């Protein structure tokens, strides 16, 4: 068998900027993405997928809010599970169709994935992740008074609820995911960072209202399934030093020690490239062969080492076979 790769899809794989988010738009975007992913499968790689879910879970929250007088609104962990099924359905169907069109015999399955977090994680004391629709200040203040929620003003666009973003501790379904990957199945798992859950004193799981960063959860999943390469596909071609300044410089081949230094110097913002770089660094630090940050449409040249930011323990001078 070929090398095993975990691909973390950015939001642009499912919904492009300026689109409304119709079913047809999302299916078309996913079909285009899947064509490139099946190119990877045809090269002999074992493929595991994870993905973001921000626009989708945001739409689900709005739907629940607007219909709350008719049916009970569901909590955030339920909405996250709903989005995993929605996106997983589109990805699985597209993968099956693309493989059939190429004469490939390949099974694909989506696992609704729970990701364990620590109930004492410091993030629960300081919620920072905006979720859901925008509200007026008066509406936000009413919900704060009635429900005890945390809200912030978001860049002049209105007020949004914020929830904790705790660190992922482990993938609850990791054994079954790995078994399926070992059988050659293309597995979609841990969508949107997974459904955050904690354990009570009896070891039983329960959902919590939080959002786990999907790249950090992807790193955890990549290690749990024994991936050789962790690929983060996004809307930019590289991680960049001195971003948006005249001195900006794309990072190409980078060692662990170099990337640690750049993180300590504060080059990567917490809300954008920061988690991607940290996830990639952690994967290699914990035993992964290589981590890549690259643009969505460049997955094959990125695997060859020709484009993107390539993070290794010690940078090699070779070109990777693909």
- Give one word for 305, left, alpha or beta, with left for phi > 0 and alpha for psi -120 to 50: left
Angle between helices 273-285 and 256-264 (to 10 degrees): 150
Give me the torsion for CA of 128, 129, 135, 139, rounded to 10°: -50
Cα distance between residue 314 and residue 113, in whole Å: 33
Q: What is the pLDDT of residues 3-15, one digit of tens each?
A: 999 999 988 899 9
Phi and psi angles of residue 280, each rounded to the nearest 5 degrees, phi first: -65, -45
Retrieve residue 214's tokens: 């999907």
Q: Are strands 114-116 and 195-199 parallel, antiparallel or unpaired?
A: parallel
- The length of the chain in residues reads 322
Share of residues in the chain with pLDDT > 70 (%): 97
Contact 165, 213 (CB under 8 A): yes
Retrieve residue 53's tokens: 């879910």
Radius of gyration over every alpha carbon of the chain, rounded to an integer in angstroms: 20
| DSSP string covering 245-293 | STT-EE--EEEHHHHHHHHHTT-S-TTTHHHHHHHHHHHHHTT-SEEEE
Contact 181, 221 (CB under 8 A): no
Tell whether the model's pLDDT for residue 135 goes beyond 90.
Answer: no
Instruction: Identify the three-state secondary structure at position 242.
Output: coil
Which residues are designated catalytic? Answer: 11-12, 129, 214, 276
Q: According to the model, what pLDDT value does residue 11 have? A: 84
- First-to-last alpha carbon distance for the chain, in angstroms, is 13
Q: According to the model, what pLDDT value does residue 314 have? A: 73
Domain over 4-312 is classified CATH 3.40.1160.10 = yes
Tell whether the model's pLDDT for residue 318 goes beyond 70.
Answer: no
Cα distance between residue 285 and residue 262, in whole Å: 15
Tell whether the model's pLDDT for residue 96 goes beyond 90.
Answer: yes
Closest CA to 64 of 53, 75, 56, 54: 75
Banded model confidence at residue 264, pLDDT cuts 50, 70, 90:
confident
Q: What is the pLDDT of residues 204-232, one digit of tens each?
A: 999 999 999 999 999 999 999 999 999 99
Retrieve residue 112's tokens: 């609704």
């Amino acid at each position: 068998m070929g090398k095993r790769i975990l691909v973390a899809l950015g939001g642009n794989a499912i919904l492009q900027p300026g689109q409304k988010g119709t079913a047809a738009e999302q299916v078309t975007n996913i079909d285009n993405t899947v064509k490139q992913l099946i190119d990877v499968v045809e090269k002999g790689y074992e493929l595991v997928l994870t993905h973001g879910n921000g626009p989708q879970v945001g739409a689900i929250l709005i739907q629940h809010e607007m219909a709350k007088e008719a049916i009970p609104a569901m909590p955030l962990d339920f909405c996250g599970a709903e989005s995993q099924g929605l996106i997983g359905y589109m990805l699985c169907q597209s993968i099956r169709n693309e493989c059939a069109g190429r004469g490939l015999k390949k099974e694909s399955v989506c696992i609704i994935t729970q990701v364990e977090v620590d109930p004492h994680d410091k993030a629960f004391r300081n919620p920072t992740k905006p979720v859901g629709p925008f509200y007026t200040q008066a509406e936000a203040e009413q919900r704060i008074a009635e429900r005890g929620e945390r809200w912030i003003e978001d860049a002049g666009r209105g007020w949004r609820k914020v929830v904790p973003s705790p660190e992922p501790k482990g993938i609850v379904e990791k054994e079954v995911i790995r078994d399926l990957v070992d059988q050659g199945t293309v597995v979609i798992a841990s969508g949107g960072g997974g459904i955050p859950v904690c354990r009570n004193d009896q070891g039983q799981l329960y959902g919590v209202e939080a959002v786990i960063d999907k790249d950090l959860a992807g790193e955890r999943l990549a290690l749990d399934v024994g991936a050789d390469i962790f690929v983060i596909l996004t809307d930019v071609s590289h991680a960049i030093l001195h971003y948006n300044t005249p001195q900006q410089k794309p990072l190409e081949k980078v060692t662990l020690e170099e990337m640690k230094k750049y993180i300590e110097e504060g080059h990567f913002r917490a809300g954008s490239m920061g988690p991607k770089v940290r996830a990639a660094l952690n994967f290699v630090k914990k035993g992964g062969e290589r981590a890549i940050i690259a643009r969505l449409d460049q997955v094959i040249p990125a695997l060859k080492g020709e484009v993107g930011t390539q993070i290794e323990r010690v940078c090699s001078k070779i070109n990777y076979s693909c």
